[in-house]
Copies of this chain bind each other. A is one copy, B any other.
């Protein structure tokens, strides 16, 4: 998903929008502090983009859709950038093939930083001089756009570092993973995660889609009625340990568990486990035994044994669907997820927690003294991993794309993709909401995507 979108009405006061803009723009830079200019050149799979490109493209968005239109004296930073950093807006300009982004050694990283500064200063001037409501609406869109690229920047760097045979770490400092390691060493018996429970819902005539004040994307509208059968929704995500049972039970070699297209992917792609699981041969640097599975994370490789109670991540829709069939359950529809989310505050293992990886949804974590303590991120409706729903990504009744080239932000991707809900450990907390619709092709695995079962 590359994104761009709309809001029905801008209710945030101008001042706070300016603060939010500054905060988000700054966080993009903060996410790059551990990266070198060389790291930010890597594009390791067709879905990903170089981190430098994300930096430039998010500036481009403000330049092209706000400054060039609403700031009368705005001077384009570089006459080549408007087409160079266009992602996919056919209605705006021609643009380079996506795969060429890895050749953008020029402009250099410093020039891209200058570009961002130029854009920031211009936005500042525009807002201080009293931007019209239409400009403010689009600035809010730009803020949300940039948050989407923050998540993509992190998922793309995870893939880039996994592809590098040296497997560098994106982030090295203190981590919940380390806590898990202590836990392992401190107690001989691994506590089991809480048994999976299901919250029950009555269904009937419900409403989904964005309502109320604040921002939403065009694909969250129109709010509309849907009829739901009674259903249950799991109170936490499926864990790595549970997923390992599926593997151990022949999950990847039993065609009866899979959709036909999923089974074809298993055979063609050679899937045997989630994307970032692999077996060590030899080196024990990360504490894993020889032959033991490891999991690659933004904090480097960790033994799978430390992650057993954390939600399984980086699986395709096909794997989520096969797991659910194996477990005698199914995936929820997006409406079921959204109705269940009503009234639940946005909280969980999101980017702001800075775990950068899913963490156990359990109340059984022990501290170094052996005392159990509550994992504050446990069993939340949001965070850790986006959950694959069983819903195809299609327009809502009454969907109207934004005017002009911005109409390409979401609408043209409404084919061949499945909806995901709930945000992940690299989604900014202010970015997500109950009506938020993420979407990816069903074979996608490089995002933080997992499973919440329905019944």
**Chain A residues engaging chain B, CB cutoff 8 angstroms:** 36-44, 52, 80, 84, 88, 90-91, 96, 100, 102-109, 160, 163-166, 168, 205, 224-227, 229, 255-256, 258-263, 317-318, 321, 390-392, 394-395, 397-398, 407-408, 412-416, 442
> Considering the chains assembled together, what is the distance between the CA atoms of A225 and B160 in angstroms?
47
| Cβ–Cβ contact B259 & A398, under 8 A | no
Residue in B96, B321, B394 whose beta carbon sits within 8 Å of that of A165 in the complex: B96
A227 pairs with B229, CB closer than 8 A: no
Instruction: Tell me the complex Cα distance, A91–B256, Å.
Output: 7
With contact pairs A105-B39, A109-B38, A398-B229 given, residues A415 and B261 touching in the complex (Cβ less than 8 Å):
yes
Cα of A412 to Cα of B394 in the assembled complex, Å = 21
Asked if A38 and B37 sit within 8 Å, CB to CB, the answer is: yes
What are 29 pairs between A and B in contact, CB < 8 Å?
A36-B37, A36-B106, A38-B38, A38-B105, A39-B106, A41-B41, A41-B105, A42-B102, A42-B103, A42-B105, A43-B102, A44-B102, A102-B102, A103-B160, A103-B163, A103-B165, A104-B164, A105-B160, A106-B164, A106-B168, A224-B229, A256-B408, A259-B412, A260-B412, A317-B415, A390-B394, A415-B442, A416-B416, A416-B442
In angstroms, Cα B105 to Cα A395, docked, is 40
Which listed residue, B42, B163, B166, B226, touches A41 by the CB 8 Å rule?
B42
A326 to chain B, nearest CB (A): 14
Q: A38-B41, A165-B84, A229-B224 are in contact. Are A261 and B108 (CB under 8 A)?
A: no
Q: Known: A102-B102, A261-B416, A392-B392. Is A108-B256 also a contact (CB below 8 A)?
A: no
Copies in the complex: 4
Docked complex Cα distance between A106 and B317 (Å): 32
Q: Which residues of B contact A398 (CB under 8 A)?
A: 229
Bound CA span A90–B266, Å? 15
Given A38-B38, A227-B225, do A415 and B260 touch, yes or no (CB 8 Å)?
yes
- In the complex, A109 Cα to B258 Cα: how many Å? 35
Most buried by B among A105, A166, A255, A413: A105
Residue in B96, B166, B391, B414 whose CB lies within 8 Å of A80: B166
Q: Which residue of the partner chain B has the closest CB to A206?
A: B227
Establish whether residues B394 and A88, one from each chain, have CB atoms under 8 Å apart when the complex forms.
no
Q: Complex Cα distance A392/B439, Å?
A: 14
Closest 9 CB pairs of A and B: A392-B392, A38-B105, A90-B255, A41-B41, A103-B163, A39-B105, A260-B412, A227-B227, A259-B415
Distance to closest chain B CB from A26 (angstroms): 23
Interchain nearest-CB distance for A168 vs B (Å): 5
User: Which B residues are CB-close (under 8 A) to A163?
Assistant: 100, 103
Asked whether A414 lies within 8 Å of B259 as measured between CB atoms, the reply is yes
Q: Which of B102, B105, B413 contacts A36 (CB 8 A)?
A: B105
Nearest B residue to A404 via CB reads B256
Residue of B nearest to A321 (CB): B415
The docked-state distance in angstroms from the alpha carbon of A91 to that of B39 is 31
Chain B residues near A90 (CB-CB < 8 A): 255-256, 263
Would you give the shortest CB distance from A12 to chain B, in whole angstroms?
A: 31
Please, which residue of chain B has its CB at the minimum distance from the CB of A226? B227
Give the docked Cα–Cα distance between A84 and B292 (Å): 23
How far, in Å, is A391 (CB) from chain B's closest CB?
Answer: 8
Q: Would you call A392 and B390 a contact (CB within 8 A)?
A: no
Residues on B with C-beta less than 8 A from A91 are 255-256
Indicate the member of A42, A43, A90, A227 with the most B CB atoms within 10 Å.
Answer: A227
Give every chain B residue within 8 A of A44 (Cβ-Cβ). 102-103
Closest B residue to A395 by beta carbon equals B390
Contact residues in B for A390 (Cβ distance below 8 Å)? 394-395
Q: A103 is contacted by which of B164, B225, B226, B407 (Cβ under 8 Å)?
A: B164
Residue of B nearest to A44 (CB): B103
User: Which residue of A259, A390, A392 has the most chain B CB atoms within 10 A of its CB atom?
Assistant: A392
A229 B397 Cβ-Cβ under 8 A: yes
Q: Which residues of B contact A392 (CB under 8 A)?
A: 392, 394
